[in-house]
Structure 1
Amino acid sequence: MDLSATFYFVAVTAVLITGISKSGFGGGLGVMSVPLMSLYVAPQFAVAVLMPILLAMDFIIVWKYRAHWNRRVVSMLLPGAAVGLAVGGITFQWMSADVIRFAIGVLALLFVGQFVLAQRRERAPATSSTFAIFGLGALSGFASFVAHAGGPPVKGILLRQNMDKSVFVGTNTMFFFAMNAVKTLAYGAIGQFSQESISVSFVLAPMLFVGIGLGLFLHRFLAPAVFIRLVYGFLFLAGSKLLFDSAGIIWTEWIAIARY
């Protein structure tokens, strides 16, 4: 595969934003990483490249926030996440690249819509039912497996716990560390990693330290709302582009199948 300089620029940007988001603001903004990289490579290749980087990030951030996380919340989310990971693992290899691009584009725009709606609601803490927690955990697990986009579905649960910002980041990181460890094993089992994907991961790896360092710095000084609004704008553009590129191809394929 001949990877362009533009791809590497976008991939570096994606790793930086993911590192800043995970270490500074409890993740969530990493949802744009796969959509951005999928503009230039197959989504399956994008998730394989990012997997070792995300796991390395988790190791570092878990150590940083090891004394600041809520065990009860993590234990509530993990059962649903396990179901979502299983469904993602079963369906991932059967989907064409364009179908996954389309699905990721839809997820991206849904996450943007979720964010916009959340800004219009009161931010008073609220309780969530066991069913809602299980369902959001499952959605997070599925989105995480197919697109490393599991952050936004669990944001609502975490935000309702009225946590200190450091506990919020630590809890989010512990949850995704558990999921990413399982995903790494699953990707290896289904042959998702290749020599090329690992080589690209190695090239991008230094950027994860820069992203984490910037995130820890911004965690202390920058208002999260400013950063989040900016990146969700880019997420909207990336999701729209993925839908525009894939919808026409999928529609053409469906018409051909129907005629056949």
Structure 2
Amino acid sequence: MAAASVVIGFSKTSFGGIAAISVAVFALAMPAKESTATVLLLLIVGDLIAIARYRTVSWRLLWKLVPSVIPGLLLGALFMNFVDDLTMRRTIGALLLVMVTIQVWQRFARPSVDVSPNTDPHWVRASLTGTAAGFTTMTANAAGPVMALYFLAARIDKARFIGTNATFFALINLSKVPLAASLGLFTVEGLALDLVMIPAVLLGAALGALVIKHVTQRQFEVVTMVASAVSAASLLLR
């Protein structure tokens, strides 16, 4: 789990979509629902580090998401009460895979779509993304790929991508703490594990900040898209 914690920190300062890989590792080592609370606190640490490192934020993209994120969070909390872990993972994996497919189709099969920089996503896309992000982050801390695809569609540069992504998840993850607590997902063992793993998150964040300096915008987009697809597949196949 130390390696997974390093990946969490790395993802927060570089390729956001890969954090879902760490979510999968923690879910394998712990009961899936309780693991979401343990990972949540590590993600918040990573968010705060990224915000301090990347301060360029596209607020116009975030404000379009706000109205639909809260219903997504509530829907996710309700969903967790009525389904088992396997159904939850596969539902999220299928949702992510559909979003990856749409993004790849728009980017490669229809290259004329969304080609201008800083494209403002349509309100329908923003609403669907917000709901999906709220739902997936509440149920499995797996909204990273969802938001990665949304920011890729907006064609913002990698520094603004990371800063906006970190700000969004800091706000969302902090709002999830009372919901997770009300569901009884925080445990003494999980909190103790978080304390041990924080240095690994810090190490990953430092590595991510170093690596991203040497990555081109095109490489950043390709790796982000591939990581989103791998995350979706891991949730479907586990």
Normalising by structure 1, we get a TM-score of: 0.78
Deviations 1:142-200 (A, max 9, x none): 00110111122233432243323211111111111110010112112222101111122
Q: Percent identity?
A: 24
What is the CA-CA distance between 1:77 and the residue it aligns to? 1.1
Partner of 2:77: 89
Is structure 2 residue 138 aligned with structure 1 residue 148? no
Matched residue type, 1:190: L
Distance in 2, Cα, partners of 1:158 & 1:81: 15
Counterparts in 2 of 1:111 and 1:17: CA distance versus 1, 3 Å? farther
- The 1-side partners of 2:231 and 2:77 are apart by 25
**Aligned equivalents of 2:221 and 2:122: distance in 1?**
27
What CA distance in whole angstroms lies between the structure 2 residues aligned with 1:145 and 1:232? Answer: 18
CA distance in 2, matches of 1:168, 1:13: 24
Post-superposition shift, 1:88? 1.0
Q: Map 1:51-90; keep pairs closer than 5 Å.
A: 51-66=40-55, 68-90=56-78
Q: Larger C-alpha radius of gyration, 1 or 2?
A: 1
Instruction: Look up the match of 1:50.
Output: 39
* 1:221 partner SS: coil
CA 1:225 to 1:131, structure 2 compared with 1: closer, same or farther past 3 Å? closer
**What is the RMSD computed on CA atoms of the aligned residues?**
2.5
Say which SS state the counterpart of residue 128 (structure 1) adopts: coil
Distance 1:39 1:86 in 2: 25
Q: Give distance in 2, aligned partners of 1:210 and 1:143.
A: 26
Structure 1 residue 109: Cα displacement: 4.0
Contact (CA 8 Å) 2:17, 2:227: kept in 1 or not? Answer: no
Whichever residue aligns with residue 238 of structure 1, its letter is: S
The answer to which of 174-183 and 227-236 deviates more is: 227-236
Q: Which runs of 5+ in 1 are unaligned?
A: 1-10, 243-260
How does the TM-score come out when normalised to structure 2?
0.84
Which residue matches 1:238? Answer: 234
Q: Is the 8 A contact 1:35 1:101 kept in 2?
A: no
- Partner residue of 2:185? 192
Could you list the runs of 5+ residues in structure 2 that have no partner in the other structure?
none
Residue number among 133, 140, 145 corresponding to 2:126 in the alignment: 133
Does residue 18 in structure 1 map to residue 14 in structure 2? no
Name the amino acid aligned to 2:210: F
Verify the 8 A CA contact 1:35 1:104 in the aligned structure 2.
no
Note if 1:170 corresponds to 2:157: no
**182 and 233 in structure 1: CA distance in 2 versus 1, 3 angstrom threshold:** closer
> 2:92 and 2:212 mapped to 1: Cα distance?
28
2:175 is matched with which residue: 182, 205, 221? 182
